[in-house]
Structure 1
């Protein structure tokens, strides 16, 4: 009974947020600091094209807060909570005066990552591990106790 109470207390009092945040660091030179920045998904048929949007320096949130941008003066980091365009290779870069995108970095982003699955699975294992340990201990003592009586 005490075990059930302990497990319930852990579940009810524990607070865990599991948000899968993917990031891409986009280093730039001082001469490009004021150029419009670009975030886009590479086209599956044409690796030289991408679909996305541009934004100005100083913009911190995009797509209703699903994308956050931080700038440290040497690079800007794009943090993605939700992929609105789906899994694929994403670019960050800047746009020239001629509307040409200069890619600074790229990475594969996915909406069903192992890290998110692990963040949920670890809590299940956290609860199961003590239950299995205690059950094994009780079973072992019971079996060992039966051997002493005969």
Structure 2
């Protein structure tokens, strides 16, 4: 009973927020000035697998697309975190641009606006809590049953 009370208090008094966030890690080597080149975020073209549509941005830029994209750089890689895809579902690239305007792709992944993964990230915690409660309940029930047994 106290577990239910604690859970209700946490829900009623706590503040919670969640969002559907996808990330892509873009590792780079610090040679030939690559760490200072413009970064690229783009969606691969469905007709031409070697082309993409997107934008470039300078190192030090942390927020793009009115906050829908957040960039963090640690000097060895940069991570792009996406809240909303303005170009829709598809394969996205991260990389950097050379002086010749050639995109060097560092990583790619499939991004989607469908929040199935987000739903699962919440659902798995609910399942975890239910599993823990059922395990504890089964243990208590088992101890009660065996505690009432008399040996002669």
Answer yes or no: same fold by TM over 0.5: yes
Q: Work out the CA distance in 1 between the residues paired with 2:99 and 2:132.
A: 62
Q: Aligned pair 1:85/2:90, yes or no?
A: no
In structure 2, the CA distance between the partners of 1:95 and 1:15, relative to structure 1 (3 Å rule), is same
Local SS of the residue matching 1:33: helix
Q: Work out the CA distance in 2 between the residues paired with 1:116 and 1:16.
A: 15
In structure 2, the CA distance between the partners of 1:92 and 1:13, relative to structure 1 (3 Å rule), is same
2:39–2:94 Cα contact (<8 Å) kept: yes
In structure 2, the CA distance between the partners of 1:8 and 1:126, relative to structure 1 (3 Å rule), is farther
Local SS of the residue matching 2:117: helix
- Root-mean-square deviation (CA, aligned residues, Å) is 3.4
Q: Which residue of 2 aligns with 1:12?
A: 12
Q: Work out the CA distance in 2 between the residues paired with 1:50 and 1:74.
A: 24
Q: Which residue of 1 aligns with 2:112?
A: 110
In structure 2, the CA distance between the partners of 1:106 and 1:129, relative to structure 1 (3 Å rule), is closer
Matches within 5 A, 1:1-150: 8-19=8-19, 20-28=21-29, 29=31, 31-122=33-124
Q: Work out the CA distance in 2 between the residues paired with 1:12 and 1:130.
A: 22
What TM-score do the two structures reach when normalised by structure 2?
0.71
Q: Work out the CA distance in 1 between the residues paired with 2:127 and 2:14.
A: 14
In structure 2, the CA distance between the partners of 1:123 and 1:17, relative to structure 1 (3 Å rule), is farther
Q: Work out the CA distance in 1 between the residues paired with 2:16 and 2:128.
A: 13
- Following superposition, the deviation at residue 105 of structure 1 comes to 1.1
Q: Work out the CA distance in 1 between the residues paired with 2:23 and 2:68.
A: 11
Q: Work out the CA distance in 2 between the residues paired with 1:52 and 1:131.
A: 48
Local SS of the residue matching 1:86: coil
1:22–1:81 Cα contact (<8 Å) kept: no
